Structure 1
Amino acid sequence: MERKLSTIFASDVVGYSKMMGNNEEKTLEILGERREVIDRAITDYNGIIFGSAGDSVIAEFGSPVKAAECAVQIQGKMKTMNEDIPEDQQMIFRIGINIGDVMVSKDNLF
């Protein structure tokens, strides 16, 4: 299996399970709006989404600087989007960035 050095970006929503328990439809509506922004930012910063489940997004970047800039932009936009909605519907995203050796499979990284 091929190996390469890569920058991995991972995000998820704080309290997502609780939000889903309170109001699934509204939570999914808000998540859909947020994902449009997140996915666009990842693409704009030359990242490639290779994993997503529920509230999580995992992407690969060729540059740690681009991954960090993308994360900062996303956090700023999420803050702005949260300003005009009730606190219990606000989505706070955690974003982690890791640089390391990954194994490359057909359509996935490990």
Structure 2
Amino acid sequence: MTAERQLADADYVIRARSMGTGLVCNGEILHEGDGMWMTRFNVVKTLKGPERTETFIHHDEAPEVCGVRFTSGEDVLIFAKNDARGYPRANACSIRPSKDAPTE
């Protein structure tokens, strides 16, 4: 799928730098382990969705469910869909290196 198509299909698209990942409990990052994960990002640029300077993206890490692991300091382009509660959620198929950003 092209970045342009992903942009059209996503609810929230950002270029961002990963600042840390952990388990989610009541919206808070607790510690590393198994289960639903949340990564905090500093937003470099918003391409679609609400403008923020910092955001949290929900994701799985298990490869069998298209999970993704973020490295602190990694710059990425995220095409997130909102989950049932309205939180942005991403997977390995909706993450690209930030150099792959669609042209505006």
Shorter-chain TM range is under 0.3
Superposition TM-score, scaled by structure 1 size: 0.23
When Rg is computed on C-alpha atoms for both structures, the one with the higher figure is 1
Greater fraction of residues in strand = 2
Q: Tell which has more relative contact order, 1 or 2 (C-alpha 8 A, sep 6+).
A: 1
